[in-house]
Structure 1
Amino acid sequence: MHPTSRLYRSSVVLALCAALVGAPAAAAEPAAPAPPVITADQVMPHLDALQQIADRNGGNRAHGTPGYRDSVAYVKAALDRAGFRTALHRFTRDGVTGYNLIADWPGGDPEHVVFAGAHLDSVPMGPGINDNGSGSAALLATALQVSKAGLTPDRHLRFAWWGAEEGGLVGSRAYVKDLSAADRERIDVYLNVDMAGTTREKQLWLVVDDDPAATAAFKDWFAARDLPTFDIGIGGSDHVSFDEAGIPVGGFATGVDDCIHEACDRVENVNPRTETLSTNALINAVWQLAARH
């Protein structure tokens, strides 16, 4: 090689090195915010409040009773203070007006909705604190964490507390029936939580196996903590109303206990550790799915 050629090549290499050293680093994709982790004292007070509501109103929080209306008022007030847009969706069951509580977190893509729900009503025989005050409390604690974190999700976040579920998924079916075809299309996934705090020596989380991303979010979270799960397919809670309309669903439950639909389904019938684990699993799933398109 001619000496001049060597000199030219060296100059080019040096210039490229200088350019690379001085070039700004490529902008990294912003990492999705890590989900918060809550403790029992952030979720169990909601169950205490629902128990007190039942105690003041004949021992239950069933559809059409003051106990149910006070339960809705308690959850709605907490969400309103936290900055959610809340609305009551009305329906009729047995000649009595029922109420679903719907709460939207401002922001996120309205064409892509992550929707989480739980039924709030009990049966007339008891206060329904595990079935399903536990799911309702987990859902409320999750929503309040969204507000506390000032979460700016990619997808729009919506939460709901259903009425008259114990009468046969009445509230959730009425809500889905009243949605337009376009509004149904906007829901990317519906997540349901039912009986989140069952007291059992060997706990098992029953995971709704339908939407792949939702199933993975729950199962991976439980597996990372050596918590056993069991796939239940679609199962039989409020998410069935959404599945019937062709909306992908997910969620979980912790199984039936000895006090289901009985007067003994009180706050003492909820395992605080199980309830806290369930709430954190829901928070993690909401955080994950809210950041996806």
Structure 2
Amino acid sequence: MNLLKKVTAALSAVVMAAGAVSAIPTCAIGISPDKNGKQSAFEYELETYRLSDTRIGVRIATINNPGVLKFGLVLKYDADCTLMDLEQNLPDFLVSIQNDTNKHQIIVPMLSVNSDRDGTCIDNLNDFSCYFEFSVPSSSAYPLQFSSCVYKYDSLNEGISFDFDSTKDSRPRDTSVGVKLKDVPYRIGDVDEDNKITMDDGFSILQMAKYGNNLLTVDDLNEYLFKHSIYKGTRTWNDMFPKLTYAECADANQDGYIKEEDSDEVMEYYSQAAASNITMSTLVNTIGYKTVTYEY
């Protein structure tokens, strides 16, 4: 997926169209200078994911935290979206979350609970992230828009402090980028994406099938690839199969499930191809297409 190279002062937006589980992240989003014009080194990223025809995931995560005492974030979302779930990885922060459905925005104020031996509050140096999941009607018109804004920021380490007053419309205006659709090819059975079918692919598919008790769906795996990659230290499908882009690659017969039969089919294809005598009827090693999103 294309990287959206939008570096803005205090605000960025990502426009999400119906696409794959792959994300479209912004790159190194900075925040506004304080009233004295001092620029913080704090940076974060905003990513959107299409989990299914009717569900979209949005993730906000720090990529550079010079030390934060207080922090407030606004995530604005499209009117067609309905907030379904919210997960946080916010270590050592007191968090208050407000969902303003009338204005279609979520406000996440955070206050560090770190303190030194004297009980004096100190900056929090940990990275943190928030994940939001939205339902979207299948009839929604795309693109959909999501935008983020840091409106409150206090850092003792940097000597920076600001707090926008939304009642005076001092918050910066939204910026946006557009996302359209395209069909991208994938090779059925090629789990490690080396553009060929090998025994390794068959073994990997068998491993997935066993982990999923032979009931793993393509949609479930695509969602798992994303959601369980948010938190560091979690054993994920990305850890075990780091080159797997789309779960559809592991679905040899393209029936929407990843089962042992898919591994058997890949292994049989490999054996026949090695003997230069392919007689089976199979989709393995053929090209499938998946609708994904891209920047315009």
Instruction: Quickly name the TM-score band, shorter chain normalised.
Output: under 0.3
State which structure, 1 or 2, has the greater radius of gyration over its C-alpha atoms.
1
TM-score, length basis structure 2? 0.25
The answer to which structure has the higher strand fraction is 2
Using the size of structure 1 for normalisation, the TM-score is 0.26
Larger proportion of helix: 1
